[in-house]
């Protein structure tokens, strides 16, 4: 599926593969204080039957190393969709790419019979919390001292999929 997003780029959302890992790792390193390692991504890609990965790719005029704009890792586990990891290249944030990826993940989850989506987000990451709230997620709990570097609580959020994803 090709979608024109706020940045006026034609973005293609489709599964990413191990050949895309170098680009994924570059975005991961720029995005998180505790980034996933290559081994963690490979374990999910190759060894976790519940794991799914989507990338937002821009084709055309961009150099190959910049074509992956963002990605999402999520699990489809029976009736639950678990958003595990989401990141967008810093120079393409706040242009609708992250919400586009979440929507695609939710649509796939619904197609596989999930009834709710769950995630954890750093208590200090207000922009991510706002993104998820805009999409209809609501806070349902908190995990004390869940994250390190820096030490921080996790906000637990959920979306009941029967209520549909917000536009």
**Structural domains counted in the chain:** 1
Digit-coded pLDDT (tens) for 75-98: 999 999 999 999 999 999 999 999
Domain that holds residue 49: 2-163
CA distance linking residue 64 with residue 42, whole number of Å: 21
Q: Which domain CATH number covers 155?
A: 3.40.630.30
For residue 7, which phi and psi values (nearest 5 degrees)?
-75, 0
Give the pairing type, strands 116-122 and 80-88: parallel
- Average pLDDT (111-133) is 96
Enter the pTM of the model.
0.88
Which residues carry out catalysis? Answer: 120, 132
CA distance linking residue 5 with residue 88, whole number of Å: 14
């Amino acid at each position: 599926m090709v979608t024109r997003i706020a940045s006026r780029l034609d973005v293609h959302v489709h599964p990413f593969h191990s050949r895309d890992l170098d680009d994924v790792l570059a975005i991961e390193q720029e995005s998180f204080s505790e980034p996933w390692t290559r081994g963690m991504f490979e374990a999910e890609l190759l060894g976790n039957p519940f794991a799914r990965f989507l990338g937002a790719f821009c084709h055309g005029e961009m150099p190959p190393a910049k074509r992956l704009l963002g990605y999402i890792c999520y699990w489809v586990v029976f009736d639950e969709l678990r958003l595990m990891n989401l990141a967008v290249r810093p120079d393409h944030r706040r242009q609708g790419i992250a919400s586009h990826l979440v929507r695609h993940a939710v649509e796939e989850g619904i197609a596989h019979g999930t009834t709710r989506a769950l995630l954890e987000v750093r208590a200090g990451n207000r922009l991510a919390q706002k993104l998820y709230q805009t999409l209809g997620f609501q806070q349902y709990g908190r995990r004390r001292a869940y994250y390190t570097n820096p030490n921080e609580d996790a906000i637990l959020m959920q979306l009941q999929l029967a209520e549909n994803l917000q536009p």
